[in-house]
Amino acid sequence: MRLLLTAAATTALVVAGPLTATAAGQGPQGPVGGDLLTTKPTVVADGATPPAVQASAYVVADIDTGEVLAAKAPHAKLRPASTLKTLTALVLLPRLNKSDPVIGTDADAGIIGSKVGVYPGLRYTVDLLFQGMFLASGNDAVHALCAHDQGGIPATIQRMNQKAQAIGALDTHVTDPTGLDADGQYSSAYDLALFAQAGLARPDFAKYASTKYTNFPNVGNKGTYQVANQNKLLFSYDGALGVKTGYTTLARNTFIGAARRNGHTLVVTMMNAPHGITADASNLLTWTFDHYSDLKPVGNLVKPADQPKAGPVPAESKEKSGSGTTHPPRSRTVLNPGQAVQSLALRVPAWFYAAPPVLLLGLFLRRPRALRSGSKRRH
């Protein structure tokens, strides 16, 4: 019996073990992006010593080559705060028509956290709401955009988790598209770099991320008020491309910044920083630019799974949002044979693998009645 129970437990562990590791952000050969990119709070760099920063985790990478040039606890799962809005934008930007009108609601205005000033009954465009989302980190703008899309906030959350998996951001799990502190919501410095890389490849994302000022309508259509980008890197660092800041009480300061100099485009991401986020980001960027030729990659930003090239989308197969905006059907990730088997195995409950040994155990225990009675007489 003991032998059979051991076999059952071993079978379940052999099957479940590697899959659990993969789901937790570990590739079949080790940490995603390279063996040096772990959750340990050790600074990793090759060729020069980076400046000390206060963040618990950070990544500096070249988003053109995908080379990670310095890192500290890059896969540590931490609260992302509003830097998560970069993933929200990656999901919503291709789905929404920027000229669509959106009427503010009580639910938009009543959301907690940072706001740009979306008021019930006021008319906005999707384009202006994206500006409010990037510049002022407006949770009210995010709520209005998500509500405008098909399926609302629940569908946006689902799409965000799917998008994170599709681009290799395996440390990320989304429960609130605004980035507010929520149970089960986390990301990593490595994943934030992936979001920045994917976002800056889109002209619209890059434009919103680097916009310094915009104007929002006042209540009663009485003029406008100016909104400034909260990413101070844009105002103080030569070649800055912006991207996104974040802060909550539990997450503390989080940050995604990018800059282009000397033909190189670098991104720096930081999480769980007490203060001085702009100065630390500037120091890391300057150090990397200054030592670029001396630095050797310590890892890489993974590339999304190869996607089939999209051809013309038949009119009848297009998906429409709640606003009437037409979207192409959702893309399908192509899996290699090993990934396909693993994906199938994930769908099978763990008890399925232990069932055969347990059934065999039952056969061994079903002894003839005569033998059982004889056994009792001997005792």
- Between the alpha carbon of residue 276 and those of residues 114, 170, 213, 270, 272, the distances in Å are 20, 28, 23, 11, 12
DSSP bridge partners of 187: 78
Question: For residue 315, what are its two tokens?
Answer: 């009119």
Active site residues: 82, 85, 137
Bridge-partner residues for 327, per DSSP?
A: 319
Residues linked to residue 260 through DSSP beta bridges, in sequence order: 265
SS3 track for 326-353: EECCCCCCCCCHHHHHHHHHHCCCHHHH
Secondary structure (DSSP) of 189-230: HHHHHHHHHHHHTSHHHHHHHH--EEEEEPGGG--EEEEE-S
Q: What pTM was estimated for this model as a whole?
A: 0.75
User: Distance between CA atoms of 69 and 126, rounded to whole angstroms?
Assistant: 37
Left (φ > 0), alpha (ψ -120 to 50) or beta: where does 263 sit? left
Radius of gyration of the chain (CA): 25
Tokens for 299, please give them: 């890892």
Residue ranges and CATH numbers for the domains of the chain are 2-31+349-378 (no CATH), 43-304+312-327 (3.40.710.10)
Per-residue pLDDT of the chain (379 residues; tens, 9 = 90+): 434 433 443 333 333 333 233 334 455 557 999 999 999 999 999 999 999 999 999 999 999 999 999 999 999 999 999 999 999 999 999 999 999 999 999 999 999 999 999 999 999 999 999 999 999 999 999 999 999 999 999 999 999 999 999 999 999 999 999 999 999 999 999 999 999 999 999 999 999 999 999 999 998 768 999 999 999 999 999 999 999 999 999 999 999 999 999 999 999 999 999 999 999 999 999 999 999 999 999 999 998 753 333 333 333 333 434 434 433 333 333 333 333 333 333 333 444 444 444 444 444 444 444 444 444 444 4
The C-alpha atoms of residue 174 and residue 45 are separated, in whole angstroms, by: 30
Distances (CA, A) of 33 to 28, 168, 329, 334: 11, 9, 30, 20
The pLDDT value recorded for residue 288 is 98
Is residue 207 marked as binding? no
Block residue for tokens 């992302």: 80
Q: Decide: 54 and 273 in contact? Cβ < 8 Å.
A: yes
Distance CA 207, CA 213 (A): 12
Q: What's the pLDDT score for residue 279?
A: 97
- What is the distance between the alpha carbons of residues 62 and 196, in angstroms, rounded to a whole number? 11
Judge whether 88 and 60 are in contact, CB under 8 Å. no
Q: Contact 300/193 with Cβ under 8 angstroms?
A: no
pLDDT of 20 reads 30
Return the residue matching tokens 């709520």: 143
Cα distance between residue 284 and residue 50, in whole Å: 7
3-class state of residue 136 by DSSP: coil
Which class for 181: exposed (0-12), middle (13-18), buried (19 or more C-beta within 10 A)? middle
